[in-house]
A and B are shown apart, each in its own frame.
Chain A
Amino acid sequence: MKRRSKFILIFLVLILAGGFIYFKSLKTRHQELIKSKVYYTLGIVDSEWKTDLTDNSVTFTTPTFVISNIYKSMEGPKSDQFVVIDSDQEELLWLTSFKTNAVSSNEQRKMSNDFVCHTNFEYRDAEHYNRWNMTERINSQYPRITSISNGVEEFELPNGFGFPVFSNERLFINAQALNHNITDSTFNIKHKIKIGFTKNSDKTLIPLQPKTVFMMFPYDPQNPFQGPTEQLPNACIPVETKNHSYLDNDGNALSGHWIIKPGKHSYTYDASQQLQIKDSIRLHQITSHLHPFADRFKLKDKTTGEVIYDCNSENFTDKIGLKNTPSFSSQKGIWMYNDHIYEMLLEVDNITDNDQEMMASMAIFYYDAEMDTKIKELKL
């Protein structure tokens, strides 16, 4: 009996040791997924999303995120949720502003937004477009409304413009925590995610259509981490090859997250194909999503030489993080054309001695003429 207990004990110790070695071999983001699952399953921290609705805004509060490590972008605790603004009514709403704040887990104290990696807001395109009988738009692009991130934790669409959704329409939110700097303590936070809206019954706004365009660079899938070669002089070193990897029309591998070595670097990317401008569009809003060490991010009409958006992002000087990433916002708008070439230009300055991870995207909004006509025809 004693011997049997001894075997069981040794077996358990081996299982635990094996589990620990396996856990330690995982990447930070996978470790955090497991840790969060354990915290939520055992009820150690709050695991539920919460909704607070007012007449002109809705605030979604995330489950608790336990900050116990350094988390670069996409590594921290995260939570995804399908949300509905008001399931009791079917009313047309115009989303007009987006904001995320980090707060203490008891929701009493505002925390530094250094702990906000990003909040992604998405519509579900089949439900969204089928409500308007715009079936042909389904699968035409990734259904992201917008994204706010470290350095740009809030923005408003230009006055008089909005993105139309129904109050009982399901949306999808993805929230993720960040921690570039604090290593000496473990603490709990939540994200408060506020969406401002105008009811159509109060005022009909002008509809905008969102689109996200992002920089991506080639790499050799056979030897992904070797960097530029004679055959592939424009190659990047991808952060990883599983996520944020894409294939272009010729089947070449591209990465939207890449490594930047210490020092200054600049990148250019032809965004015309991603923009998919059919005839012309009137651009009203751009919000950038950048990583720390990004200095300047531009959208340029290469055909005319005009710089449409010049984002001078400000990095903190005493810690890692983006202090401010200015948005572009215009009621009048800027016309963009399908026969022009549009280029994104990025300048970075990695002032550390280590490799860092970079990405650069623009969440744009442009006038949605088809939706405008549709809404005017309907008796809502």
Chain B
Amino acid sequence: MKIKLILVFLVVLMSCNNKTSELPILSYNYIDGKKEYYKIDQLEFTNQDGETITSSSTEGNVHTMNFFFTSCPSICPPMRIKQQEIAETFSEEKGFKQYSISIDYKNDTVDQLKHHAELHNIKSAQWNLLRATSEEQLEKIANLLKTNFKPNEDGTDFYHSSYVALIDKEQYIRGFYDILLDEEVELLKQDINSLLD
């Protein structure tokens, strides 16, 4: 009996020590060779409903951010399908949001974003399509999200990456995921869950 009790105690002790691995914070820069963390907290965009989205909207929520544009013919449609899958998975989760920022603010007006959202059944309660008002604003958020975009050389289209950044409730980046890859989408879902816990 004593041995059994000791065994039960050991099992409980071991399970207490079995901590889940933490996702590292990836939003940092090296200033004079020293690492300095930063938050994604300087936002001011307009969403598809014409509402202003600021850092107070994102704070306290686990969220993803990525770039897109509504007339994108190449990687945006398959990215959108994966994001719709994520929206479906977390449809009941009020603490999770997706933010997709258009890099074509001149053509992607609020009306165009609204039309795009309606066309693809994107609901602002969970997934916001955001419009910037200047190139500088886009460059600033791209720097913070550690991603890049640029017009193609022939001027027909934009290049932007297929990565989304995962941001925690305290507004730190905790991961980057190539959303075109199934295994990365699964990893993203797993990491969203771990940040929601």
Residues of chain A at the chain B interface (Cβ within 8 Å): 80, 82, 84, 87-88, 90, 124, 126-127, 130-131, 133, 135-136, 138-139, 166, 168-170, 172, 377-379
Additional A-B contacts beyond A126-B146, A126-B161 (12; CB < 8 A): A87-B22, A126-B163, A131-B26, A133-B29, A133-B30, A135-B148, A136-B148, A168-B21, A169-B24, A377-B33, A379-B33, A379-B34
Interface pick from B52-60, B98-106, B119-127, B175-183: B175-183
Give the nearest-CB partner of B148 in chain A. A135
Chain A residues with Cβ below 8 Å from B196 are: none
A80, A90, A130, A133, most chain B CB atoms within 10 A: A130
Structural contact, B33 and A130, CB atoms closer than 8 A = no
Chain B residues with Cβ below 8 Å from A377 are: 30, 33
Structural contact, A139 and B24, CB atoms closer than 8 A = no
The 8 closest A-B pairs by CB, nearest first: A87-B21, A126-B176, A130-B146, A379-B33, A126-B163, A168-B24, A378-B33, A127-B176
A-B contact pairs, 30 of them (CB 8 A): A87-B21, A87-B22, A124-B176, A124-B178, A124-B184, A126-B147, A126-B161, A126-B178, A127-B26, A127-B175, A127-B176, A130-B26, A130-B146, A130-B176, A131-B26, A133-B29, A135-B146, A138-B147, A138-B148, A138-B161, A138-B163, A166-B24, A168-B21, A169-B24, A172-B183, A377-B30, A377-B33, A378-B30, A378-B33, A379-B34
In this assembly, does B7 line the interface, its C-beta being within 8 Å of a C-beta of chain A?
A: no
A-contact 0/1 string along B122-151, CB 8 Å cutoff: 000000000000000000000000111000
A138, B163: Cα distance in complex, Å: 10
In this assembly, does B11 line the interface, its C-beta being within 8 Å of a C-beta of chain A?
A: no
A167, B133: Cα distance in complex, Å: 40
B192 shortest CB reach to chain A, Å: 15
Chain B residues with Cβ below 8 Å from A378 are: 30, 33, 35
A379, B184: Cα distance in complex, Å: 31
In this assembly, does B72 line the interface, its C-beta being within 8 Å of a C-beta of chain A?
A: no
A139, B178: Cα distance in complex, Å: 10
Chain A residues with Cβ below 8 Å from B22 are: 87
Chain A residues with Cβ below 8 Å from B187 are: 82, 170
A378, B35: Cα distance in complex, Å: 8
Chain A residues with Cβ below 8 Å from B175 are: 127
B40 shortest CB reach to chain A, Å: 13
Give the nearest-CB partner of A138 in chain B. B161
The dominant DSSP class at the B interface is mixed
Structural contact, B30 and A88, CB atoms closer than 8 A = no
Chain B residues with Cβ below 8 Å from A136 are: 148
Chain A residues with Cβ below 8 Å from B161 are: 126, 138-139
A138, B164: Cα distance in complex, Å: 13
A159, B163: Cα distance in complex, Å: 36
Chain B residues with Cβ below 8 Å from A169 are: 24
Q: With A127-B176, A138-B161 given, is the CB distance from A90 to B146 under 8 Å?
A: no
Structural contact, A80 and B183, CB atoms closer than 8 A = yes
Chain A residues with Cβ below 8 Å from B21 are: 84, 87-88, 168
B33, B176, B184, most chain A CB atoms within 10 A: B176
A224, B33: Cα distance in complex, Å: 54
B58 shortest CB reach to chain A, Å: 20
A84, B161: Cα distance in complex, Å: 24
Structural contact, B147 and A135, CB atoms closer than 8 A = yes
Structural contact, B148 and A90, CB atoms closer than 8 A = no
Chain A residues with Cβ below 8 Å from B34 are: 379
A124, B177: Cα distance in complex, Å: 8
Chain B residues with Cβ below 8 Å from A168 are: 21, 24
Give the nearest-CB partner of B34 in chain A. A379
A87, B18: Cα distance in complex, Å: 13
A131, B177: Cα distance in complex, Å: 14
A40, B177: Cα distance in complex, Å: 26
A196, B26: Cα distance in complex, Å: 25
B28 shortest CB reach to chain A, Å: 8
A88, A126, A127, A169, most chain B CB atoms within 10 A: A126
A273 shortest CB reach to chain B, Å: 18
B105 shortest CB reach to chain A, Å: 21
Chain B residues with Cβ below 8 Å from A124 are: 176, 178, 184
B157 shortest CB reach to chain A, Å: 15
Chain B residues with Cβ below 8 Å from A87 are: 21-22
A295, B105: Cα distance in complex, Å: 57
A84, B146: Cα distance in complex, Å: 22
B65 shortest CB reach to chain A, Å: 13
B185 shortest CB reach to chain A, Å: 12
Chain B residues with Cβ below 8 Å from A166 are: 24
A-contact 0/1 string along B147-191, CB 8 Å cutoff: 110000000000001010000000000011110000110010000
A16, B197: Cα distance in complex, Å: 42
B:31-50 near A, CB below 8 Å: 33-35
A138, B187: Cα distance in complex, Å: 19
